[in-house]
């Protein structure tokens, strides 16, 4: 099983949690993947605890990188247009930022990530 890590930068502050929920509802990911939200360790200077740091996703044999990218792009399209979103996907040594709402380029992005 391959593992990818996903981070979200957003001006709304809840982007990572919302994306994690979206991924967990995607049928292909539910059947062939495993999504975990990794929590940042508590820091004394922060007032909050339990802040999500990144999503770790294990890809089973029935799940392609392109399917994940299409799902992420679909989530981006569902967000309010004024919200600034940047999704970073890391596959081993390769990292790419997804800042598009165009599902037509999902295959290109997946190839760049080495799938």
Q: Tell me, what CATH number does 63's domain have?
A: 3.30.70
Q: Which domain holds residue 89?
A: 2-112
pLDDT at 2 over 90: no
Mean pLDDT score, 30-56: 76
Look at phi and psi of residue 26 and say left if phi exceeds 0, alpha if psi is from -120 to 50, else beta: beta
Q: How far apart are CA 61 and CA 20, in angstroms?
A: 20
> In the block, which residue shows the tokens 């930022």?
97
The token pair at 36 is: 């975990």
How many CA atoms does the CB half-sphere of 102 hold within 13 Å?
Answer: 6
Q: So what's the pLDDT on residue 48?
A: 52
Number of domains in the chain: 1
pTM for this entry: 0.82
């Amino acid at each position: 099983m391959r593992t990818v890590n996903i981070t979200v930068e957003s001006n709304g502050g809840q982007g990572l949690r919302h994306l994690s929920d979206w991924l967990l509802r995607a049928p292909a990911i539910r059947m062939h993947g495993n999504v975990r939200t990794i929590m940042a360790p508590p820091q004394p200077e922060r007032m909050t605890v339990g802040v999500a740091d990144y999503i770790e996703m294990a890809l089973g044999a029935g799940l392609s990188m392109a399917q994940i990218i299409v799902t992420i792009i679909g989530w981006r399209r569902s967000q309010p247009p004024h919200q600034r979103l940047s999704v970073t996907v890391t596959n081993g040594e390769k990292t790419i930022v997804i800042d598009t709402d165009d599902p037509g380029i999902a295959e290109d992005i997946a190839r760049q990530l080495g799938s």
